[in-house]
Amino acid sequence: MSRRLKPVPSGGGSPVDDPPADDEDRDIEVCCNVDRPPLIPEGSYEVGFVRAEEKAHLWGGRRKVFLHFKITQPGEHFGKVLFMSANLPVNGRFSISSKYLQQWSLAAGKQPNRHDRLSTRVFRGKVFLGRVRTVKVFVNASTGKTEERPASSFYSVLDHLIEVRAGA
């Protein structure tokens, strides 16, 4: 650690060493650019599709699709955007219980053909009734165990779509 010399005081004398900064008293400012999802009461809401994003290498190499929906029904939560996440298969083969496959089939109004590409385009231009739930737990990265979140970090997600309300 380097030490800084103070200038010689007027009137003579020798330079005085600054004591090293005490790390215990130092505050650190960390940038925070997270968009926290809103927290709204659990229940059913009308929602419209906004956008989709795919993320890879999450939680042990998993791929996920994040579907973002905006609340379209009038009221206190109108315009708030929530997301729904679904795992994507590593080998490209969806299981019959896949969340994304189920939601895609609801939006498309049919089961996919054997070799369909399951585009998020099927969600566009439609209004859905969706179920909102509150996220109250997290998986501790060190232990792999589920733990309760502090109430101040709860947030809402769109758990699943129930039905198509409007749209082609």
Phi, psi of 34, deg, nearest 5: -80, 135
User: What band does 89 get if pLDDT is binned at 50, 70 and 90?
Assistant: confident
Residue pLDDT, tens place only, 118-136 = 899 999 999 999 999 999 9
What pLDDT is attached to residue 41?
A: 96
Burial class of residue 71, CB neighbours in 10 A (0-12, 13-18, 19+): buried
Residue pLDDT, tens place only, 62-87 = 789 999 999 999 999 999 999 999 99
SS (H, E, C) 65-115: EEEEEEECCCCCCCCCEEEEEEEECCCCCCCCCCHHHHHHHHHHCCCCCCC
Compute the chain's Rg from CA coordinates: 26
pTM reported for the whole predicted model: 0.77
In angstroms, the CA 107 to CA 102 distance is 9
User: Is it true that domain 43-166 has CATH number 1.10.4160?
Assistant: no
Structure tokens at 138: 């997290």
What pLDDT is attached to residue 86?
A: 93
| Element containing residue 168 per DSSP (H, E) | none
Residues 164 and 109: beta-carbon distance below 8 Å: yes
